[in-house]
Amino acid sequence: MYSPQRKDFVSLMLGDQHSRSYTNGKHRRQSCWRKWKQLSRLQRSLILFLLAFLFICGILSYPSLTEQWRGLSDRSLKEDWVEMDNRGLRPIPPGLIPKILPGVVLGVQDIPPEVMPEIQRPSIPLLPKPPAMRKPPSKRGPPVLQKRGNVSDWQVRDGEEAMVRRDEDEGKEAKTVISWRGAMIEAEQGTELQSTAHGKEGTVADAEEAANLKPVTVKAVDRVEAVQEAFRHAWKGYKAFAWGHDELKPISKTHGEWFGLGLTLIDALDTMWILGLKDEFAEARKWVETELSFSKNVDVNLFESTIRILGGLLSTYHLTGDTLFLDKAKDIGFRLMPAFKTPSKIPYSDVNIGKGTAHPPRWTTDSTVAEVTSIQLEFRELSRLTQDPQYQNAVEEVTRQVHRLEGKHDGLVPMFINTNSGKFTRRGAFTLGARADSYYEYLLKQWLQGGKKETELLEDYLQAIEGVKKNLLRQTSPSKLTFVGELSNGHLNPKMDHLVCFLPGTLALGAHNGLPADHMDLALQLMETCHQMYAQMETGLSPEIAHFNLQSNNGRDIDVKPADRHNLLRPETVESLFYMYRFTKDSKYRDWGWDILQSFNKYTRVPSGGYTSISNVRDPVYPSPRDKMESFFLGETLKYLFLLFSDDNELISLDKYVFNTEAHPLPIWPSTS
């Protein structure tokens, strides 16, 4: 038996949880070659292949890289100077800086001649800054309506991207614009500089000519074509998704029905004729001839049907001479007459044109004053054409009663009138906005339509304007914008509907026809305010209602409550811009109208066809489309924009025609004396 092997050494293990393990062995440092040899043949082949591939790619990219670096380092001083001049940069040598008064900006023409030779040769060329990296836009809202930059998915088709070049320093659109929206029509290349929506000049390559160039506005013909294109785009959507129906829902690509009478199509008839869109007009006329029927068991609103359908048909008849439209006007006019069968002769608001019955709204026996006093132009004209006095007698009875009624306040009328008693109700509230606005408009326009002979109409109009100046006019702080507020039981509410922006044009029209000159002064002030209702909004589009600051508490003139931030593509401001330009020839009114059209194209245009109202004019990233194109966008808004940009003053001459409140021109009656 063997005894255990005797050990002549002691093995000791030292351990530490924070130290590396020790194995009592020797650590040999392997060479790279030894590691390489330990790899398999396949692994070595793959590594060699990758290295060769990277080497070849480097050789191929070398020329382009060297060319870029050479372009940065070897640029001539002349090229640097031209680029700096284009960007508005001219370094001034030390010791030659002229004294500058505070608040004064010097241009090239302001630099003394003796300084110019030194300025022409900058000693050190400035390299351009690399383009700034843009932070990707945050996405808000449901996935279907997420944005791409400043454009929502409801505006951009799949695979279609916005192609707008932006100036990095100013954040404004560059001179040359290729827009997915399709309505940015530029001036001819090489002929003139185009002002942007904010009046920014284009740049030129030749620095020596920069001092002699001045801003040049876009040619009128370009803007006219832009309106025509916008109409075609809206019509494309209506034809594709809502043909023969009342309204287009452009986002959902369907239609909405109000009366079921093709409101948009009828409202747009005379617009197509005025814009010279013959093909579109021809297909619309065919629909009127073969499809339009008023023999329907449907309730319609007397006011809306009169101004849109009756007015549209009468206007189209006068412009075209086509008796088809007069026959249809006679039909609808006759079917609306049951509305006047009330105890007071003040018409009901609703008529069933199939049954021949009428009634007030279910919740009240009142009609709004605007509704019963803004149907006179159309029914009077229908009587003149048909030689049937019943239409004119019915509406003029309403006018006479309102003229005699108690309850006015310095010519201002309450908003409601009872169809049984014929008296004003809910007295104490006075506004030029909803429910009362077109009463004042039609006082003046009836007087003009009849050849300025009906003095009671003129007296009521003049008294009302004095009442506005006395009771409703105020100025904002800090910018002193003049606005028309609302009076409620003696208390002024600094609130103004966008609807009130009809007033500058109406005042100017009166002044043009011999009314007091201070009417024009007031028109100029209110026109500026209506412009600011657009310009101070982030989208460049006005809210439905604005609240004005009488005290400078937050540095703003205009506040907008969340419930009032929608824009319905309304026409009132561009209507007044049209009148103001016709009478003053001040090009700024055209520029303001151009700004509005561009904003419509930017925030409301739907690529598949049509334009949509929006819910938030304060949010340019996501303005919350409402999926509805009102008929008045084609009937009024685009028509007034076209007339604003047209140089033909005889195109719907304001000495021969008067527009109804839906922008349908009706002739001023020839004098019989």
* Ordered DSSP codes for 74-142: S--HHHHHHHHHHTT--PPPTT-PPP--TT----GGGS-TTTHHHHTS-SSPPPPPPPPPPPPPP--S-
pLDDT at 217: 53
Residue 558 and residue 549 in contact, taking contact as beta carbons nearer than 8 Å: yes
Would you say residue 405 has pLDDT above 90?
A: yes
pLDDT at 671: 83
pLDDT at 46: 84
Reported as a pLDDT band with limits 50, 70 and 90, residue 54 is confident
Distance CA 319, CA 313 (A): 10
- Three-state SS for 368? strand
What is the SS3 string spanning 18-50?
A: CCCCCCCCCCCCCCHHHHHHHCCHHHHHHHHHH
- Three-state SS for 237? helix
Distance CA 526, CA 517 (A): 15
pTM for this model (two decimals): 0.71
**Long-range contact list for 286-294, CB < 8 A, 24+ apart?**
287/243, 287/244, 287/262, 288/262, 288/324, 288/325, 288/328, 289/324, 291/244, 291/262, 292/261, 292/262, 292/266, 292/328, 294/261, 294/328, 294/331, 294/332, 294/335, 294/353, 294/354
Q: What is the pLDDT of residues 559-579, one digit of tens each?
A: 999 999 999 999 999 999 999
Q: What's the sign of the alpha-carbon dihedral 55, 58, 62, 64?
A: positive
72-76, 277-281, 300-304, 660-664: which range is least confident on average?
A: 72-76
Domains, the chain, ordered by start: 229-260+381-663 (1.50.10.10)
Residue 540 gets the label, from left (phi > 0), alpha (psi -120 to 50) or beta, of left
661 is in an annotated binding site: yes
Catalytic residues: 304, 437, 544, 572
List, in order, residues 6 or more apart from 391 with CB less than 8 Å away: 333, 337, 379, 380, 382, 383
Distance CA 439, CA 375 (A): 10
pLDDT at 45: 85
Residue 409 and residue 470 in contact, taking contact as beta carbons nearer than 8 Å: no
Reported as a pLDDT band with limits 50, 70 and 90, residue 40 is confident
pLDDT at 154: 57
Give the helix/strand (H/E) hosting 238: helix 220-241
Q: What is the pLDDT of residues 464-494, one digit of tens each?
A: 999 999 999 999 988 999 999 999 999 999 9
Q: What's the sign of the alpha-carbon dihedral 304, 410, 421, 397?
A: negative
CA 456-371-312 angle, 5° bins:
95
Residue 445 and residue 658 in contact, taking contact as beta carbons nearer than 8 Å: yes
List, in sequence order, the alpha helices (H) in 321-375: 323-336, 369-373
Q: What is the pLDDT of residues 256-276, one digit of tens each?
A: 999 999 999 999 999 999 999
Paired with 605 in beta bridges are 611
Reported as a pLDDT band with limits 50, 70 and 90, residue 41 is confident
Structure tokens at 203: 């740049």
pLDDT at 49: 85
pLDDT at 219: 54
List, in order, residues 6 or more apart from 591 with CB less than 8 Å away: 195, 199, 217
Would you say residue 173 has pLDDT above 50?
A: no
**Long-range contact list for 35-38, CB < 8 A, 24+ apart?**
none
Q: What number is the average pLDDT over the span 660-665?
A: 98
Paired with 474 in beta bridges are 483
Distance CA 35, CA 58 (A): 27
Would you report the helix, strand and coil content of the chain in percent, each value rounded to 5?
Answer: 45, 10, 45
Distance CA 507, CA 454 (A): 18
List, in order, residues 6 or more apart from 243 with CB less than 8 Å away: 265, 287
What rounded mean pLDDT belongs to the chain?
A: 80
281-290, 428-437, 545-554: which range is least confident on average?
A: 545-554
Reported as a pLDDT band with limits 50, 70 and 90, residue 431 is very high
Structure tokens at 551: 């005290």
Would you say residue 180 has pLDDT above 50?
A: no
Would you say residue 292 has pLDDT above 60?
A: yes
List, in order, residues 6 or more apart from 609 with CB less than 8 Å away: 233, 234, 235, 236, 237, 238, 239, 240, 241, 248, 250
Calculate the dihedral angle through the C-alpha atoms of 641, 645, 649, 652, rounding to the nearest 10 degrees: -20
Would you say residue 322 has pLDDT above 50?
A: yes
Structure tokens at 247: 């309204």
What is the SS3 string spanning 451-518?
A: CCCCHHHHHHHHHHHHHHHHHCEEECCCCCCEEECEEECCEEECEEEHHHHHHHHHHHHHHHCCCCHH
